[in-house]
Structure 1
Amino acid sequence: MTPKMVSSFRRSLSFSHPKDTTKRTTSQVSHVRSTSLPCRSHPLLSQLKDHLNHLKSSWAAAGSNPVSRTSAWLCDGLAQLKTVHDYLDDILHLPQTQESLRRQPDWVDQLLEDFLRFVDAYGIFQTLVFGLKQQHSAAQVAVRRRKDESKIEVYAKAVRKMEKEMGVLVSTIRCITRINSSNTLIFNVDAELVEAILDVKEVTVLVSTVLFSGISLSFMSKKRSWMRLRRKGKVEEGVQEFKQVGTEYCCLWGLRKKEDEEMRMVLKRMNELEDCIVKIEMGSERVFRSLLNSRVALLNVLTK
């Protein structure tokens, strides 16, 4: 890919979404094209560190409480992660940042590989969520009309596929952390810049792992979920809205025999889950675009 082609990704797409309270102001964005050296006094690095600290603290507090693991909490985390990568993208376009990183091409190459893993993971996630959303909508129609239970079987298969593939994505993301542990010392690069980039990778792994594993556990049977966590010795939780419907799709069989009140409750939960799926899809797509922009900025470091 040539530099000219690469630069075309910059802010090429936008998506409508609720106003983000963490979105940068006009005065903050005005620093993006600054040519000053990214050091401790640089506003962009200070702002990035503030967002990183806020994301870590908010997730540490809410993540320890299973009741707090809702789709709204996940979407907020995705929005904060997007903001973090937008700041990183701006920092990577500073001329002095690029000059500093060019002194360590091997490390930048490793960063490119790590960011490619992130981009691939979110691309796969987008495909899976889109497929689940389609089958979920078809299942809703079948439930509402109380017929065509073949749609329920297709939905059940989509749920099982989602559970399995989410587990694979978790392993892929956690592999990035293991690769990082073998890093050698980095010379001739601003220490605060290196620390910021590594912190961005850390929170990306954190949010992505919770997102993928949370959905996987939500669609897993209670017995299998308990056995998995016991085997790994970890305490993880699913997403509340996904758990409420995901483990109950088997109850959708025999639609003609169910009472009206029961059907209304099932449809209510399915409608709520559909809203959650759409919001997570939108949030993850924004993260995907921001990850892509960050990787393109890193690629430009070596190609310009």
Structure 2
Amino acid sequence: MVGVFRRSLSFPNKTPNRPPKPPISQHFRSISLPCRSHPLISQLKDEITELKTWSFNPDNRTSAWLCDGLSRLKDVQDSLHDILQLPQTHELLSHKREWVEKLLEDFLRFVDVYGIFQTSFLSLKEEQLAARVALRRKDDSRIATYLKSRKKMAKEIAKLVSSIRCIGRYSFPASELVSIADTELTGVICDVIDVTVSVSVALFNGISMPFASKKPSWMGLALAKKKKANKVGVEGSIKEFEQIGESNMWRLRRKGDDEEVRTVLKRMQDLERCIADIESGSEKAFRSLINTRVSLLNTLTE
């Protein structure tokens, strides 16, 4: 009986060791605070991760792949738009006016660049339709005009690549990040800008590179091959645009092979469908960029 009684006495003796535990549990709760994101921010982070994975998939660079990227970009911009509507977002950004103004400049450049692209791409669409008619009629002068206008369009779109790569170079001062919420919000907005640049470069390069003038010397050809071998991510051409190359068009003019003409006509029809899909996808992304900029502007004016 005494042994049993002693065991019962030993139980209360352990209780004095328990009070230190609550501070430990509170400490762990404090560490877990960064994980308690708003559901919209968690969703946006997932979408950004998926889009980053998409941008480094060079194995199947088709118009469908490009349209998928544009669709994902629209979803990212729409999610950011929703986050910018939150009262707590307005509260955080209202104290960071200088940074928000830089973001407004970035998104204005996105909108301007996509506006220029839409205009050039519409011109390509019209030229493509006219070229298919000219090819069927074997109108050499009209085909030459088409190839010339295609090179001009390629140069215009290629210039957009260098313009868009300069976006998002502004770094937010760490000293101004006063809370976990600040850090998370600014981080996710910077990530949105990064993936927007990535998708845009894939779009502009993918369309302009196949149509650019290519007359390399033997040394230039060797350098081009080396550069092509090192290309990853967003630097490649879109497959359907490569299939309607300038050399194919001029060869048809010389040979007049009816079978080959029919093959190229079929490819041009396929390309026109791809152009329509890309035009629709880029238009939706363009509208989402406008909405995001309006939401950013509202954080300063409301």
Give the TM-score normalised by structure 1: 0.78
Residue of structure 1 aligned with 2:289, choices 288, 291, 295: 291
Paired AA for residue 212 in structure 1: F
Could you tell me how far apart the structure 1 residues matched to 2:125 and 2:295 are? 32
Pair 1:101 & 2:99 matched? no
Match of 1:81 in 2: 73
Pair 1:219 & 2:215 matched? no
Q: CA deviation at 1:52?
A: 0.9
Q: CA deviation at 1:157?
A: 2.0
Question: Contact (CA 8 Å) 1:152, 1:253: kept in 2 or not?
Answer: no
Match of 1:121 in 2: 113
Q: CA 1:190 to 1:40, structure 2 compared with 1: closer, same or farther past 3 Å? A: farther
Greater mean deviation of Cα atoms: 40-49 or 228-237:
228-237
Q: CA 1:194 to 1:123, structure 2 compared with 1: closer, same or farther past 3 Å? A: same
For 1:204-234, what per-residue CA distance to the aligned partner results, in whole angstroms no more than 9, with x for missing partners? 0111111111222111355559556868995
Larger % of helix: which? Answer: 2
5 Å-filtered alignment, 1:183-202, equals: 183-185=172-174, 186-188=176-178, 190-202=182-194
Match of 1:6 in 2: none
Unaligned 5+ runs, structure 1 = 1-37
Question: Contact (CA 8 Å) 2:252, 2:261: kept in 1 or not?
Answer: no
Paired AA for residue 190 in structure 1: D
Match of 1:246 in 2: 245
Pair 1:172 & 2:168 matched? no
Question: Contact (CA 8 Å) 1:85, 1:200: kept in 2 or not?
Answer: yes
Match of 2:259 in 1: 261
Paired AA for residue 156 in structure 1: L
Could you tell me how far apart the structure 2 residues matched to 1:78 and 1:156 are? 27
Residue of structure 2 aligned with 1:130, choices 122, 130, 140: 122
Question: Contact (CA 8 Å) 1:39, 1:192: kept in 2 or not?
Answer: no
Could you tell me how far apart the structure 2 residues matched to 1:58 and 1:141 are? 36
Q: CA deviation at 1:57?
A: 1.6
Q: CA deviation at 1:173?
A: 0.8
Q: CA deviation at 1:56?
A: 1.1
Question: Contact (CA 8 Å) 2:63, 2:278: kept in 1 or not?
Answer: yes
Could you tell me how far apart the structure 1 residues matched to 2:224 and 2:107 are? 28
Match of 1:210 in 2: 202
SS of the equivalent of 1:118 reads helix
Match of 1:51 in 2: 47
5 Å-filtered alignment, 1:14-53, equals: 40-53=36-49
Paired AA for residue 154 in structure 1: T
Paired AA for residue 245 in structure 1: I
Give the TM-score normalised by structure 2: 0.79
Could you tell me how far apart the structure 1 residues matched to 2:213 and 2:225 are? 12
Q: CA deviation at 1:251?
A: 2.1
Greater mean deviation of Cα atoms: 268-277 or 224-233:
224-233
Could you tell me how far apart the structure 2 residues matched to 1:129 and 1:230 are? 30
For 1:156-183, what per-residue CA distance to the aligned partner results, in whole angstroms no more than 9, with x for missing partners? 1221112211221000111114x23x44
SS of the equivalent of 1:176 reads coil
For 1:90-116, what per-residue CA distance to the aligned partner results, in whole angstroms no more than 9, with x for missing partners? 100111101110110000000000111
Q: CA deviation at 1:41?
A: 3.2
Residue of structure 1 aligned with 2:137, choices 135, 140, 145: 145
Paired AA for residue 95 in structure 1: P
SS of the equivalent of 1:238 reads coil
Q: CA 1:166 to 1:249, structure 2 compared with 1: closer, same or farther past 3 Å? A: farther
Paired AA for residue 237 in structure 2: G
Pair 1:276 & 2:274 matched? yes
Question: Contact (CA 8 Å) 2:252, 2:260: kept in 1 or not?
Answer: no
| Rg larger for | 2
For 1:268-289, what per-residue CA distance to the aligned partner results, in whole angstroms no more than 9, with x for missing partners? 1111111111111110000000
Match of 1:156 in 2: 147
> What RMSD over aligned residues (CA atoms) do the two structures have, in Å?
2.4
Unaligned 5+ runs, structure 2 = 1-33
Residue of structure 2 aligned with 1:110, choices 99, 102, 107: 102
Q: CA deviation at 1:242?
A: 0.4
Paired AA for residue 160 in structure 1: K
Q: How many residue pairs were aligned?
A: 259
Q: CA 1:70 to 1:233, structure 2 compared with 1: closer, same or farther past 3 Å? A: closer
